Amino acid sequence: MNTATQNLENDHVYILRLIDVMGKMVLNCATDTVHMEMVVNLIKTYADGFHHAKEEKVLFPLLVEKGFSNEQGPVSVMLHEHVEGREFVTGISRRIDVYKAGNVSALPEIYQYMQGYVDLLRAHIGKENNVLFRMADKALSNDEQLSLLNKFAAIENQYEKGQIAESILEIEGLEAFYLEDVPETISPASGL
């Protein structure tokens, strides 16, 4: 059975690929503001908008109903890290504007915020995949997993047709530009 946590882990595959691109942009001192803005938009629409909506609006509230604390423990930590990630993205976006206005001293700050986001998300995804989602799998029944999947589909349907697929294509395009060893495209037939 495909589970809600597997669905979220599938999202993580693409988010990790995006942060690999970000890491390479920092390493190479990339100056292309179009690509930087593309990264910010992908974070806002795919990682934070689409993926975090499934967690924050659907999974986490159910886990709290099942006895997980909203004030401490893994759910609380994940929510705090989502806020922290948004702060990094705001920093990136604001510094891009400063850089585009001609202030080249903003570039190292862009890299700092990008690297902060990369480091945060790598650790965050590790905690979700290896701790929180395993705990959720033990706490949730098959019916609850199915209900979550249906609610995730409803969230996806709130996006324009093809918008999620377009985000994935944009991530793949950035990978092709910045990374030498680009993972093969994962097709729906592969089960992911």
* pLDDT value, residue 180: 77
* pLDDT value, residue 162: 85
Report phi then psi at 180, rounded to 5: -80, -45
Residues 6+ apart with CB under 8 A from 23: 114, 115, 118
Report phi then psi at 39, rounded to 5: -60, -45
Percent of the chain with pLDDT over 70: 93
168 vs 187: CA distance, rounded Å: 11
116 vs 108: CA distance, rounded Å: 12
Does 2 or 95 have the greater pLDDT score?
Answer: 95
For residue 155, give both structure tokens.
């969230």
Q: What is the pLDDT of residues 125-178, one digit of tens each?
A: 999 999 999 999 999 999 999 999 999 999 999 888 889 999 999 999 999 999
Is residue 83 scored above 60 in pLDDT? Answer: yes
Angle formed at CA 160 by CA 7 and CA 132, multiple of 5 degrees: 20
Is residue 185 scored above 90 in pLDDT? Answer: no
Q: What is the pLDDT of residues 26-78, one digit of tens each?
A: 999 999 999 999 999 999 999 999 999 999 999 999 999 999 998 999 999 99
Q: Which amino acid is at 157?
A: N
* pLDDT value, residue 192: 33
Report phi then psi at 103, rounded to 5: -95, 95
- What domains can you pick out in the chain, each with its CATH number? 4-180 (1.20.120.520)
Query: Does residue 163 sit in helix, strand or coil?
Result: helix
